[in-house]
Amino acid sequence: MAVTRTFSIIKPDATRRNLTGAVTAKLEEAGLRVVASKRIHMSREQAEGFYAVHKERPFFGELVSFMISGPVVVQVLESEDAVKRNRDVMGATNPKDAAEGTIRKTFAESIEANSVHGSDSEENAAIEIAFFFKPEEIVG
Ligand code: GDP
């Protein structure tokens, strides 16, 4: 199977609780390699642009406010079948539904403050990576 890339965000609930390393360890244990990483504080414009696909959803405003409530860590992850591998280790959106051992089951506070974002397709991964990283910032 081909080595592919996906995009990840460690969300403000996790950075606030000093869990950047713990979350990244889970990603690495799952076989994902961090090939780009930076800690940023998103502007409202950036968060609205990033989540534009969710614009019509009732929680859009709350989601944007949450994502700019503190620093996040944006990362590019690489492995065989990276999108699925990351989604598997993240767990279900609602931590109540997430499987044992997943990041969200272990760390998430709520359906909103659920510690991590992960691309849902290779197509979206490419778009999301380009939203935050220049090609030369990714070192595989
Ligand atoms: P994901 O792909 O598992 O992250 O889930 P979605 O794409 O469905 O939702 C994007 C993000 O919106 C989630 O990760 C949550 O942070 C947030 N979210 C999803 N559902 C809800 C909800 O019902 N209420 C609120 N406040 N936030 C939600």
The answer to whether 9 touches 39, Cβ cutoff 8 Å, is no
> What's the pLDDT at 137?
98
> What's the pLDDT at 1?
80
Task: Please indicate whether residue 86, judged by its CB atom, sits closer than 6 Å to ligand 1.
Answer: no
- How deeply is 92 buried, as exposed, middle or buried, from its count of CB atoms within 10 A (0-12, 13-18, 19+)? middle
The answer to whether 78 touches 129, Cβ cutoff 8 Å, is no
For ligand 1, the distance from its centroid to the CA atom of residue 11, given in whole angstroms, is 12
Mutating to test ligand 1, I would choose from 112, 115, 116, 121 the residue with most ligand atoms within 8 A of its C-beta, which is 112
pTM of the predicted model as reported, rounded to 2 decimal places: 0.98
For ligand 1, the distance from its centroid to the CA atom of residue 112, given in whole angstroms, is 6
For ligand 1, the distance from its centroid to the CA atom of residue 93, given in whole angstroms, is 6
pLDDT (tens, 9 = 90+) of the chain, 140 residues, equals 899 999 999 999 999 999 999 999 999 999 999 999 999 999 999 999 999 999 999 999 999 999 999 999 999 999 999 999 999 999 999 999 999 999 999 999 999 999 999 999 999 999 999 999 999 999 99
117 catalytic? Reply is yes
